[in-house]
Structure 1
Amino acid sequence: MTPVLETNGLAGGYGELSVFHGVTLTLASNEVLGILGPNGAGKTTLLRTLAGLLPQQGGTVNLEGRSLGRAQAWQRARAGLVMVPEGRQIIPGLTVLENLELTRASGRSGSDAASFNTRVEQAWELFPRLAERRHQPGDALSGGEQQMLAIARALMMQPKALLLDEPTQGLAPIVVQELRGVLQKLVGRFAILLVEQNRAFMAGVVTRSAEMRDGRLVAI
């Protein structure tokens, strides 16, 4: 079976600064790979490079066997490699529904109204709290609700591989538990690459784990 997401010798960083190197991994559609590691180990830089937000300094990234090469972030997202960034990055002045509607411009959430509406209903089913707040602006949501919205927005893109960067950061334990339940429902729908420092949260979600140390991915 062709892996959904595959890297070989991937390297990345900022400008001439190398942050990680030699990252080789494969991820199938029914797998959740969790990556642990201290701050500064290169975890977020790895995700940002995979998503095309930072240029590759070396190596390859393939999605369903197709090289992404020099594809930009929007092209990778349209192909199905979708990232939920650290800090959520929702649009605070737009309502919950309007934040979801932004994905229509991607060309991947379905251009016709029926397809889009179906995905919205699926988002409400997965996140009932967002359904209740659909007409409230993003900056009126709690941190947990903003994280739910960031994940719901990514799901509207129909990901083949979902990249999650520190989804539990700054959240109350009860919200973390709720997010774990959501991710468990998503396991098997697509590949998930999860960067997280909460080991207890990861233990209930991931199928495999690895650690970033000094810019290398180890202990898979």
Structure 2
Amino acid sequence: MGERSDPRPRRRDRRGPHRQRPHARRRRRGHRRRPHPRNGRTRPIVVPLLRGVVGDAEGLPFPDDTFDAVSCRIAAHHFPDPATFVAEVARVLAPGGVFVLEDNVAPDDEVLAEFLNRVERLRDPTHVESYSEQRWRDWLDDAGFVVEETAWVRRTLEFDSWVERIGVPQARLDELQAAFDKAPNAARRYFDIWYAEDGVASFTTPKLLVRARA
């Protein structure tokens, strides 16, 4: 997975290890896309027998053995204490219940993991940490889970839309661009970083999927 369907040849630009997609262009900084006519309008969805509850992931407001299944999708890297979160999931799951997790995952290599977490925090200061698969396995094992299946997928992110989704302020945007410009060669290869004429155009990020049983 993660392979590009773009048939055009890749070439290096004059900056050496930077890679540049032919004819790639990025909008000038500060320029925003025109919003889609539907953007900004939320239609309520009514689902019978479904009740929403606001609570702390590290102190779930439910009795023991409440659920047959629990899922958590692309949120755990914001949690201050993932080990406590996993223990809480084990508590609220009935015996034999299933826990499904999807989240950003850090490579085992410390340099690559440090780069990934640095750019994620520059983009969004609420990012705590993306952890390795082994860390998740350790937490799941400590909580009594049996890991049944894991998989990695890679997602390509266009830089402009990635930063615009949360409105990164200009000061942090400049730091973020500088971090990509100074990325180690190993990070450029691993995260498949592509550069346009005025900066980074896209990169890929790995995600971990886990299915575990209580």
TM-score normalised by the chain length of structure 1: 0.30
**TM-score normalised by the chain length of structure 2:** 0.31
More helix by share: 1
